[in-house]
Structure 1
């Protein structure tokens, strides 16, 4: 890239600054190592995220099963209470009289 500049802009400080500016855009070995480290960390984070998703799904399934079991127990309890009530109503009138006294 050729540049033609006339005047006070072409000072030695400007030329040095321009050289550093161009060279700063070239990735050096330090930047390459940092890029590799960041990519490795990104891969590790993805793996951690996948593990967290699996654990979350496992816990969600366990919670849903526990809720279904609880609902089933509630229904069974209501049926048991109802059957106990109907058994008590099946007494004879003499048994009720004895129970009242």
Structure 2
């Protein structure tokens, strides 16, 4: 049978391994998602520019 100290330590150890979220984490995730959206939009614009240049070169 485990001692009270061991039971307390084991319970604390399990709880320490569970990641917690805070407002800072959410803010960073939101910033990263916005940056990804910006990069995807820029990628699309650049792709369209390439298509336009190809069409102009063919004419």
With structure 2 as the length reference, what TM-score do the two structures score?
A: 0.73
* Inter-partner Cα distance in structure 2 for 1:52 and 1:13: 57
* 2:9 alignment counterpart: 13
Q: TM-score, normalised by structure 1?
A: 0.48
Aligned length: 57
In the alignment, structure 2 segments of 5+ residues that lack a partner are none
What is the Cα-based RMSD across aligned positions, in Å? 2.0
Q: Which has the larger radius of gyration?
A: 1
Deviation at 1:16, TM superposition (A): 1.8
User: How far apart, CA to CA, are the structure 2 residues paired with 1:59 and 1:21?
Assistant: 54
Corresponding position of 1:42: 36
